[in-house]
Structure 1
Amino acid sequence: MTTAAALTLPMPLQRRLERESASLFGGDGMPQVDFSRPPGEPSLAPADSVSWRVFKNPVSLFIGGVAAVLLELGEPRVRSGVWEHSSFRSDPVKRLRRTGLAAMVTVYAPASVAQAMIAGVGRQHARVRGTTREGEPYEAMDPELLDWVQATASFGFLNAYHRFVRPLDSAERDCFWQEAQPGARLFGATGAVDSEASWEAMLAAMLPRLRAAPEVHEFLDIMRTAPAFPRALLPVQRLLLRAAVDLLPASAREVLELGPKAGLPRGGARLVRVAGLMADRLVIRSAPPAQACRRMGLPAEWLYRAA
């Protein structure tokens, strides 16, 4: 890693950013998690991990999370479980906030907190089952589906950071996959991907199962206007959605019928990278990464200076 100065905004903007971050990961029925305590308790991933660097960036997290959902909606059994048993249609922002909090807890929370949260998620998922419109039964705790969901999430977060923030070499990329293993096993993904090569093999194996579906386009339509960002940043939100489509493997994008118009316009990738690089150095002291640094006896800006 190279060393760069951490960024803070002028005080009025910084205060607003801190409030937005605090509301994103708390309040409104969200589980309350204190990432700053107990002092010294390690997370599932260590503080010097690739994961701690990658997950601190809100721009690449949004892009990667949307890309993961698109891949998940392409698998009929996962699509049915997500679309019929969650609030994606009725309250997509709250659903994404909960998913984002789960990712933050898995990476940054004390290990004991992460283990308890993941156990609770498992109990909820154990009740999710049904039949797809094609007549195929599904259960959310099916190890094959859990492996796919875990892999698509890791693919999205890793590659959004790699493409739109800072390139990661092959060793760092494999390390990221390996760091996800403890959390993946707790979620029940017993065959979780542990390397770039394993991801490529899983994608090739799952590709024949992927299907274009109205839900894929409905999800993107919902997210174009959902209040995931302040209203003034709606154009940025829409640009990041197009970046998520652009991030998908070409083979999956073709199957899902997401053509060139759904991806980034000319010059769009450059704008996304500017946003990604700024976000990578912007210290948000109320956010889980900075809180976790303090828990481990590190300065709140430690991850941002190391970017």
Structure 2
Amino acid sequence: MNAEPINWAAKRTSRGMPSIDFTSPAGAPALYAPDSISWRVFKNPISLFIGGVAAVLLELAEPRVRSGVWGHSIFPTDPLTRIRRTGLATHVTFYAPANVARQVIKGVVRMHDKVKGETPGGLPYFANDPVLLDWVQATASYGFIEAYSRFANTLSRAERDRAYAESEIGGQLFGATGAPRSVAECEAQVEAMRPLLEPHPIVDEFLSIMTTRIGLKGPLRPLQRLLVRAGVELLPEWVIERLELGPEWRLSGFEKRLVRTLGAIADRIPIPGTPPYQAAKRVGLPLRQLYGH
């Protein structure tokens, strides 16, 4: 079946977001199987928020990615829209019909072709550089997989390895041909990047945006700073030190338990209208199977 190409400029919701139908056609498979670890991981809004913070911190610590993100996106001026678009693209990758996911990813790759330049320190960058794509894929996999395991539902080492291996499906389509396929490979990739990671005022600006300008909804709003700090807590210890993030960004033992409780609760609550919920309905996956782990 060939779907109509997605017009990202024309097909918009009331919030200006691209309109993606996760509910049809009935039975249409996604790129990822319903019994994948990825379907479990990416349904949890608490761990996704935490993992997203950790992933972006790792990305902004790398000067070429930092220049590309801050110089060629609307994040500094309209962070909420930028985060919503990124979140939608992520959910499309895992839950939309496979042909729709491929179209969206192709569109992202085309947009990345325009992102190139030079860092203030003189390093050239290009968003579709395979090295940078591998790093972005590694940071995303690390953030989301490890946040889910630590703050929602513990994954065994074998399950985490499987989750990293699964990420290769989307990673290849984005051009990340050397992204990590296991816990060990991810740890090695982060370690290999150690010489380039550095503190920067943009890292601090990002944390300020996430704590003051991006508003979570409803009862989670007062917990927003706590969840941002959980994202910092997720980083390797040496990265926290390298980014010069002080104790005010760390969690106490009680706070870790609180975040873990929130993540565990979120893991069992189906939220109607969300992409994971709609995708489960589309493929006939019982909600108790997706939300019952």
Verify the 8 A CA contact 1:55 1:61 in the aligned structure 2.
yes
2:188 to 197, 201, 221: 201
Confirm whether residue 52 of structure 1 aligns to residue 44 of structure 2. Answer: no
Please, which runs of 5 or more residues in structure 1 have no aligned partner? 1-24
1:65 to 27, 52, 76: 52
The residue correspondences of 1:145-184 to structure 2 (distance < 5 A) are 145-184=132-171
Partners of 2:274 and 2:13 lie apart in 1 by 10
Structure 1 residues 252-261 or 160-169, which shifts more?
252-261
Which whole-Å deviations, capped at 9, do the CAs of 1:36-65 have from their partners, x for residues lacking one? 111112111100010001111000000000
Which whole-Å deviations, capped at 9, do the CAs of 1:45-104 have from their partners, x for residues lacking one? 100010001111000000000100000000000000001111111111111111111110
Confirm whether residue 116 of structure 1 aligns to residue 103 of structure 2. Answer: yes
Please, which runs of 5 or more residues in structure 2 have no aligned partner? 1-11
The residue correspondences of 1:11-30 to structure 2 (distance < 5 A) are 27-30=14-17
Stretches (4+) displaced over 2 A: 230-235, 298-302
What amino acid is aligned across from residue 265 of structure 1 in structure 2? S
What amino acid is aligned across from residue 285 of structure 2 in structure 1? L
Aligned to 1:15: none
Verify the 8 A CA contact 1:175 1:195 in the aligned structure 2.
yes
Verify the 8 A CA contact 1:73 1:79 in the aligned structure 2.
yes
Aligned to 1:10: none
Which whole-Å deviations, capped at 9, do the CAs of 1:9-60 have from their partners, x for residues lacking one? xxxxxxxxxxxxxxxx954111111111111121111000100011110000
Verify the 8 A CA contact 2:34 2:285 in the aligned structure 1.
no
Confirm whether residue 267 of structure 1 aligns to residue 249 of structure 2. Answer: no
Using structure 1 for the length normalisation, give the TM-score.
0.89
Q: CA deviation at 1:225?
A: 1.2
Aligned to 1:219: 206
Partners of 1:95 and 1:63 lie apart in 2 by 16
Partner of 1:130, secondary structure, is: strand
For CA contacts below 8 A with separation 6 or more, give which structure has more relative contact order. Answer: 1
Paired residues in the alignment total 282
What amino acid is aligned across from residue 22 of structure 2 in structure 1? F
What amino acid is aligned across from residue 273 of structure 1 in structure 2? R
What amino acid is aligned across from residue 106 of structure 1 in structure 2? T
Aligned to 2:120: 133
Confirm whether residue 297 of structure 1 aligns to residue 284 of structure 2. Answer: yes
Partners of 2:161 and 2:27 lie apart in 1 by 27
